[in-house]
Amino acid sequence: MADAKPTLPALLVEALHGVRSVGVITGAGVSAESGVPTYRGKGGLYEEDEGKIDALTGTTLLSDPDRTWRAVGDLARHATGARPNAAHLAIAEIEKKVERFVLLTQNVDGLHEAAGSRNVIDIHGSITRTRCMGCGADGELGREELEAIHAAPRCRHCGATLRPAAVLFGEFLPEEKVERMRCEFLDNPPALVLVVGTSALFPYIVEPVLAARRAQRLTVEVNPAPTVLSSVVAWFLQGGAAAIVPEIAREIR
């Protein structure tokens, strides 16, 4: 029998009606039901190989770029064939229903864009886009090329080593994306801030939720496991994104 649809609390349903501005914040958990492993927790990528975090640091990129690229290729392979799930699609639906929408995602799997989300702040960048560490040229790698990668690719203009246009551990976030996050979430928090599938380890993920709370906005978290945000948000909905987020989207009208 199909899983019974989760019933949202009546007070939350009432609060969702009439919401006209929404900010969504996502992490790897929103893609878990697309078959993309999370980083932490049971079955997480970092659980199976502790060296992966070290391989994905800015320091390793400079000292051993082949190792970093092999780890990036591994991330890509774990997302091979993944398709947007009901949560990605529901988030794209919400964007169409409200006057003001922004999505802050930590994910590099491209599934939000594939689901139709438009106003996306991909704060950790992308693993298919590249930048030359010599001449700065921007580029793109095909998914197949990325999944088969075993050594750092070279720039076809100058021959220098390419880097992924993604934020690695120990690196700064792109200033223009931090500025967009600040403007969309901190300066004037949306009426609803919805956090889905993140362990909420980074200040730029926690701060938008705290700002929404301080501004008496509606805050909701969807996660099967409690996080540091679960005691901060007005509503912590314990469960999977693919079941719960469509219910939230349905009540935003």
Residues that bind ligand APR (CB under 6 A): 27-29, 32-33, 38-41, 44, 106, 124, 196-199, 201, 222-225, 227, 240-241
Minimum CB separation from ligand APR for residue 252, in Å? 19
Minimum CB separation from ligand APR for residue 198, in Å? 3
In 3D, which of 197, 172, 41, 42 has the Cα closest to residue 109? 197
Which H or E element spans position 220?
A: strand 218-223
Residue whose CB is less far from ligand APR, 137 or 171: 171
DSSP 154: B
Extract the tokens encoding 98.
């409200």
Residue whose CB is less far from ligand APR, 130 or 155: 130
Name the residues annotated as catalytic.
124
Pairing of strands 125-132, 162-166: antiparallel
Minimum CB separation from ligand APR for residue 104, in Å? 11
On whether the CB atoms of residues 162 and 140 are closer than 8 A, the answer is no
Minimum CB separation from ligand APR for residue 105, in Å? 8
Residue whose CB is less far from ligand APR, 155 or 229: 229
Pairing of strands 218-223, 235-238: parallel
Residue whose CB is less far from ligand APR, 101 or 204: 204
> In sequence order, which residues have a C-beta less than 8 Å from that of residue 59 and are 6 or more positions away?
170
In 3D, which of 69, 52, 192 has the Cα closest to residue 127? 69
Residue whose CB is less far from ligand APR, 169 or 188: 169
Nearest residue (beta carbon) to ligand APR: 29
On whether the CB atoms of residues 192 and 166 are closer than 8 A, the answer is no
Q: What angle do CA 197, 203, 204 make, to 5 degrees?
A: 75
On whether the CB atoms of residues 192 and 16 are closer than 8 A, the answer is yes
